[in-house]
Chain A
Amino acid sequence: DTGVSQDPRHKITKRGQNVTFRCDPISEHNRLYWYRQTLGQGPEFLTYFQNEAQLEKSRLLSDRFSAERPKGSFSTLEIQRTEQGDSAMYLCASSHEASGAQYFGPGTRLLVL
């Protein structure tokens, strides 16, 4: 049983560029979450998918952020026109509705210069 995987693990980009992150959840998990974690803080919720439907987006998710989960499998998180304030660790988690426990991936660390 493989865990949640995320790609890339690290991303350095220049302000104004677009970036896309990928998350592959645990195969039988139908729920998928994106969180963002900044230094010294706990993760903050960004968005939630149940299968392929995006059911909730946090107010933290500005119009520059978009997430998809085609076919209810992997998910992508895109940030357009990156800003220095977007620098953070982006975490993906998945869970099965029966157990509810969220398992996290290793995260993608984004640095915007």
Chain B
Amino acid sequence: AQKVTQAQTEISVVEKEDVTLDCVYETRDTTYYLFWYKQPPSGELVFLIRRNSFDEQNEISGRYSWNFQKSTSSFNFTITASQVVDSAVYFCALSERNFGNEKLTFGTGTRLTIIP
């Protein structure tokens, strides 16, 4: 069975600091996808990234970067120079490709608070 663990329940950092959110996953499949979503106080889940299990290259998008390490089954998310607008709950998720059904298994989320 799939499982996603986000051990950090809450993190607070001062604005402009860098912060890394941890994600560890379990799966028996060799083909799978990893995701990060942001859920701001408004409640709507915002898609951030989808990564294929065969692509271990790190990715950078503006202030966001993701580190995928298959050897440790981790897919960590770093925000550089954090801003107050980054305050939200962040979810890591995993899907296995099952005849087109890519249902997501989510972690319990990390609540990030950026202190101005």
Contacts and interface: CB of A to CB of B under 8 A. Distances in A.
Interface of A: 31, 33, 35, 40-45, 48, 50, 55-56, 89, 91, 93, 95, 97, 99-107, 109
B76 interface: no
Nearest to A6: B44
Contact of A42 (B33, B93, B101): B93
Nearest to B42: A106
Contacts of A105: 44
Interface of B: 4, 33, 35, 37, 42-47, 50, 91, 93, 95, 98-109
Main secondary structure of the interface of B (DSSP, over half): strand
A101 B95 CA distance: 11
A100 B108 contact: no
Given A50-B101, A100-B33, A102-B104, A42 B50 contact: no
A45 B102 contact: no
B45 A91 contact: yes
B44 A42 contact: no
A104 B47 contact: yes
B33 A107 contact: no
Given A31-B100, A42-B93, A97-B100, A103 B47 contact: yes
Contact of A101 (B47, B91, B106): B47
A41 B93 CA distance: 12
Given A106-B43, A107-B43, A43 B106 contact: yes
A55 B93 CA distance: 21
B47 A56 contact: no
Given A50-B100, A55-B101, A107-B44, 18 more contacts: A42-B4, A42-B91, A42-B107, A42-B109, A45-B105, A55-B99, A56-B98, A93-B45, A95-B102, A100-B50, A100-B102, A101-B47, A101-B50, A102-B35, A102-B102, A102-B104, A104-B37, A106-B43
